[in-house]
């Protein structure tokens, strides 16, 4: 039965490489032999399935520990690379250095092939354990993403928006900086659903989301606020900066036509913007101010952006 991990055997003695390769091949491993560090490097680059290196400590081209150290540094995922050291010496300092590099096994020459097979088996088990752990980590991350992501658009959802807004506000207040919230709502969106169906509406929402993502800064947080309404948190941006960015989105959406079946769909949106500290000091206050500004944009004819009014102070 073939094992899932391929092996690299690096030793300047070709007879040792051949002997170990033949033995491990019979045990079900696919082995690749090299007698120089350059050959070994080329094999590692061309065979991503190599997970276990059996490396001679003393070679004329490159010290075995130096070779292992270099692979740990250059390998894309060094966690999925195990090393077994072959040595004719038992110097304590070299063994300690090997352990420091993550070499979990070393075999003395002349090599006891049965002991080497056990070492390879243990290395394979460690690799399998790490791969399973990484798969579980990936599953956990996927589940966490599903909790905070809108399944249709891939943007963050309303719950994440509210939590992030409060967290960012606390940070901005400590740093004495600014923050803006942009609420965007598709104009006459119901008419798209009514005329072309909900699949057409979903396509337009996904398109809207992509425009927001592509036009946002790395620090911006774009969310689907609900239905055809979206929100973007822009930490470090004042109202005018946020309005400029929103205007870029507005023009991009206005000029966009989306192919759907035998027709081409288009849409516009209206937006309201509120900023800290000018329009509110809390998340709910900023969202209310942005929503009022959005309502004003709708009332003024849609396809436009309005800034929130400063809160009125008591007379």
Catalytic residues: 228
**Which residues make Cβ contacts (< 8 Å) with residue 117, sequence separation at least 6?**
23, 24, 27
Tokens representing 211 are 């425009």
Helix (H, G, I), strand (E, B) or coil at 179: strand
Spell out the long-range contacts of 288-295 with Cβ–Cβ below 8 A and sequence spacing 24 or more. 290/181, 290/182, 290/183, 290/231, 291/183, 293/183, 294/183, 294/184, 294/185, 294/270
Token reading at 267: 């849409």
CA 135 to CA 55: how far, in whole Å? 29
Long-range (24+ apart) CB contacts under 8 A made by 154-157 are 154/209, 155/209, 155/212, 155/213, 155/222, 155/223, 155/224, 155/230, 156/221, 156/222, 156/223, 156/224, 157/223, 157/224
Q: 10 Å Cβ neighbour count for 102?
A: 14
Other beta carbons within 10 angstroms of residue 216's beta carbon come to 16
Cα angle value 307/313/315 (rounded, 5°): 140
Distance CA 152, CA 199 (A): 11
* Parallel, antiparallel or unpaired: strands 229-235 and 269-276: unpaired
> Hunting for tokens 């969202």 — which residue is that?
287
């Amino acid at each position: 039965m073939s094992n899932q991990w391929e092996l690299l055997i690096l030793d300047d003695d070709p007879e040792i490489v051949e002997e170990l390769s033949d033995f491990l091949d019979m045990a079900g491993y696919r082995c690749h032999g090299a007698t120089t560090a350059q050959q070994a490097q080329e094999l590692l680059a061309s065979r991503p399935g190599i997970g276990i290196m059996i490396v001679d400590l003393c070679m004329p081209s490159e010290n075995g520990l130096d070779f292992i150290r270099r692979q740990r540094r250059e390998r894309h995922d060094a966690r999925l690379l195990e090393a077994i050291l072959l040595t004719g010496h038992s110097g304590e300092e070299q063994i300690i250095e090997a352990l420091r590099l993550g070499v979990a096994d070393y075999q003395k020459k002349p090599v006891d092939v049965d002991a080497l097979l056990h070492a390879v088996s243990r290395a394979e088990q460690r690799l399998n354990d790490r791969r399973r752990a990484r798969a579980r980590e990936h599953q956990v991350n996927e589940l966490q993403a599903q909790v905070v992501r809108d399944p249709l658009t891939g943007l963050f959802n309303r719950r994440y928006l509210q939590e992030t807004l409060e967290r960012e506000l606390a940070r901005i207040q400590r740093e004495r900086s600014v923050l803006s919230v942009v609420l965007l709502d598709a104009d006459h969106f119901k008419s798209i659903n009514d005329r072309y169906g909900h699949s057409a509406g979903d396509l337009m929402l996904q398109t809207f989301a992509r425009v927001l993502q592509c036009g946002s800064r790395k620090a911006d947080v774009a969310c689907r606020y609900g239905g055809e309404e979206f929100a973007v948190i822009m930490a470090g941006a004042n109202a005018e900066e946020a309005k400029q960015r929103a205007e870029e989105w507005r023009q991009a959406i206005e000029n966009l036509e989306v192919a759907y079946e035998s027709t081409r769909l288009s849409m516009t949106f209206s937006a309201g913007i509120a900023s800290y500290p000018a329009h509110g000091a809390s998340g709910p206050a900023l969202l209310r101010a942005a929503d009022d500004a959005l309502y004003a944009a709708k009332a003024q004819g849609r396809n436009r952006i309005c800034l929130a009014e400063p809160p009125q102070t008591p007379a």
